[in-house]
Every structure is written in structure tokens, then in C-alpha cells.
Amino acid sequence: MYRLTIKHLLSFICLSLFISGQAFSQLAKHVIIISIDGFRPEFYQDNSWAAPNLRQMAMSGVQANGVRGVFPSVTYPSHTTILTGVMPAQHGIYYNAPFEPDGPTGRWYWEENLIKTETLWDAVHKAGLKSASVFWPVSAGAPVDYNIPEVWSIDKTVDRVSPIRKGAFPKGLFEEIEQNATGKLQEKDLNSDYMIADENGSRMAAYLIETYKPNLLTFHIFTVDHAAHVEGREGEHVRKAVATADRAVGNILEAIEKAGIRESTAVIVTGDHGFVDINQSFSPNIALARNGLIGIGKGEWKTKFHTSGAAAFLYLKDKKDIKTFNKVKKILSELPESQKKLFRVVERAELAKIGADPNAELALAPVPGVTMSAATDGEILKAAKGGTHGYFPDFKEIQTGFIGYGSGFKTKTTLSLMGLEDIAPIVCQLLGVSLNSAATSNPTVLRAVAK
């Protein structure tokens, strides 16, 4: 069963006008979307990064100087915007992990049925085409013909591989890939601590391309993100992870060649967010706890901040509790200037404008270099190191990148700036399919990428 939303007539007309002069003409038989978690434009624009495949694709095809993301600029809502063409307020994946009133259990937004709008997978299925996916966020149980989902257990005693093996579709696909492409996979073979995870992911995706020739394949590469969290933007391990990601992209390009579909395949390489080096951590819930708004026991709270990456989003236990909301505003306004300068308050109207969680009353968007912590006791301000994301997407460092290469793309074309929500309409244009969602088309982007 597939979800349909009310058709947005204006969006449909706008998209139709820019599909090579005729609605739903097909520019490519196959589209491969590769997401590199923590992908930044300098990876393909700065020769100091070891990324020959990315650089060649960018120079030959379409590249963007920057891609504006969503708020918070974290992995799961970002990937779902890529897949739907709409912002989190519409697609329903607001964070990596949902706000849980009684405290976090370790759950993330793993299941595709949590997405409230139609996806590219739905559009492809509706058109009678084949799809495949490897490690794409929010893909468990998705309407995908060949699916290796990104999922893990909240039970710390369960290894990382078992839930993926169990969630693979069709049954036996994971074992088929082990037998023919990767060999037997163990815990550390898919662990983001090790770059072999991206190599193995690319072997999985390459096998699906060569064997089943899907019309749409989505593939998530994730070790760059892990390295940048630990070391920051310029860490030695980050550079190695970028080189590994580039090799993974090369494996996909080779698989396309070996499958004999090079002339009919479009490849998109994009990401979810950039990265920011951090030096301080601020804990707004400590201020609430000191003022009696958060207690010690389970359920003892009137309001609390849900942190997601660097940002924090305020929830009220009772949405009609204006008294508590006003008290929070007062607490924030009375913080020392040394703390108030570390963030800005994003009010409800601005959250609505950028398409953030409609359940949050307000959010705290830190300045670059500062991250938010969910802690409720201890020091409100601490030293921090490494890197993070989640920031309000209004500055260069947090932007991600975009490369379009192959069938249906113009050559040697540069876009100054686009949004993550522009990618789904591009894919619809390439494959000649349509999304029954509120996704709107960016005419400037569509003109630049389509032959």
C-alpha cells in the first residue's frame, strides 16, 4: 500500500513545463543517487582532497557551489527531503531520532512508513519501474524491489549486521550479496569506525546495478560523517574517508560500465549537510531544570529541549501551557550575555517558514563553533571538540554539495546554489515519473541540469 497526498496542481504544472518541453519525457533509463554523509563542495572543487572520480564528474557534468539543507541539518530529515522534494514539516521525519517524552530509548526514524508524503521509490513503483537501495536512511520496509536498509537494534547486545540481514528485501538478498559480492559480513565490516564499511556498501550497490539494472538506486556512504564528528572538518581520518568514498563512487561507475548501461544512466552525488568545527557545548535543559521545569523522575517535566545535532527544539508537555512557555522565554532572556551570544532563538513563524518540526514551540540555533547538549545537570557550558552539524542552514560551512553526471545532464555547468528539495524534481525529470506531493520545481535548476 502506498501513501498519496493531495495533488499540488501548481507544482505539477511548474514541473511539467521544464521537462524538455513535454511532461514526463524520459532523459535517462537509470538514475543512481549516491549520498555521501557530510559531503562538502570542496571535496570536488579543491584539489587537495583525494577525490579524482568526484572531481572528474564535477568538471564534466553539473556541479553546485553549495546546496542549502534543512533545519536541523542532520542526516535523516535531509535524506528524506532528497527523496520527497519537501521539507521535514511535510514529510514527517523531523530529526534523526524522534522526541520521546519519557526520555530517549535509542530509536531512530528507521521505518519508511513514517514518511508522510510520497517518495521517489513510490513514484518509480507507480510507473512500473524497478528500484534498489543500500543503507539509505528511513528505508526499512520501503517499497523497493531490492533493499538493504539502514537499521540497527536498540538492544546493545545485538550486532549491527543482524537487523540489516533481517530487514533486507526480498528475503535472502543479503545472503545472495554476501555470496556473490562481499563475502561473509561481520559486525566490523559495516561499522562506521572502519572505512571498509563504505567499500562493502559500494560492492552491494554495484552488485545490484550489474545484476538487476534498477531504474533508481539510492546509496548512502557514511564514514566521512563519522570521521568529521571525531576530528572536525580537516582531520587526517576525514581525508582518508573522503578518498574511500571517492573509491566507492568509482566502484559504482565501473558497475554501470560493466552492466552495459553507461549511455542511459544518470549519476547524482550529493549529501545531507556540511560540517562545523566545535569548541563549546551549551546545555539549555540545565537552565530549565534549575528553574523547576524539569524534574528528576520519569515524566517530571513541563517543558524540555530536544537536541538534534547542534540545535535544540523546545517541547511543551501541555501545548496550551502558555505560562510555562513564557517562563522559558524569560529564562533565556535573563541568561548572561556570555551565554546568550552563543545562539539565537528561532521563533515558531521562522520554523514554519523553513519547514521544521511543527510540534516545536521554538528552537535554539547556535553560532558556528557551539553545539547543544541534552544534559539536565552539571555545567551549563563546557569545552567541546571535533565537528558537528544540525545548524540552521544559512551559512556556507553547513552547505552540502551536488554533482550531476551522465545521461540527461548538461556538461560543464555550475550552479551557484540549490536546495536539497530540488533533487527529487530533477530525478522525476530524468526518469519521466511524477510525485504526488507538494514538491515544487526550481526552474533555474531544472534548466541547468537537463539537456
DSSP-assigned states of every residue in 177-214: HIIIII-S--GGGG-TTSTHHHHHHHHHHHHHHHHH--
Ordered by where they begin, the domains of the chain are: 9-274+395-449 (3.40.720.10), 279-384 (3.30.1360)
Q: CB burial class (10 A; 0-12, 13-18, 19+) of residue 387?
A: buried
The helix (H) or strand (E) run that includes residue 349 is: helix 348-354
pLDDT at residue 81 in the model: 98
- Confidence label for 265 from pLDDT (cuts 50, 70 and 90): very high
pLDDT tier, 5 (very low <50, low <70, confident <90, very high otherwise):
very low
pLDDT at 345 over 70: yes
pLDDT one-digit tens code per residue, 388-443: 999 999 999 999 999 999 999 999 999 999 999 999 999 999 999 999 877 778 88
d(CA 222, CA 233): 15
Strands (E), 358-399: 363-366, 370-372, 381-383, 387-388
> What pLDDT score does 18 carry?
34
pLDDT at 20: 33
Give me the residues paired with residue 67 across strands. 400, 418
Q: What is the structure's pLDDT at 66?
A: 98
Q: How far is CA 40 from CA 97, 365, 389, 435, in A?
A: 24, 21, 12, 28
Beta-strand pair 303-308/311-316: antiparallel
Q: Which residue has the higher pLDDT, 161 or 451?
A: 161
In this structure, are residues 407 and 432 in contact, taking their beta carbons and an 8 Å threshold?
A: no
Residue 14 pLDDT exceeds 90: no
* pLDDT value of position 440: 78
Q: Does 254 have pLDDT greater than 90?
A: yes
Closest CA to 135 of 200, 54, 62: 200
Local confidence band at 25 (pLDDT 50, 70, 90 cut-offs): low
Q: Give, in degrees to the nearest 5, the angle at Cα 286 between 284 and 289.
A: 120
Q: State the alpha helices, DSSP H only, in 213-281.
A: 223-231, 236-258
Residue 305, pLDDT > 50, answer yes
Helix (H) or strand (E) segment spanning residue 315:
strand 311-316
Q: Do 305 and 372 touch, CB atoms closer than 8 A?
A: yes
pLDDT higher than threshold 50 for residue 225: yes
**d(C-alpha 394, C-alpha 357), whole Å:** 17
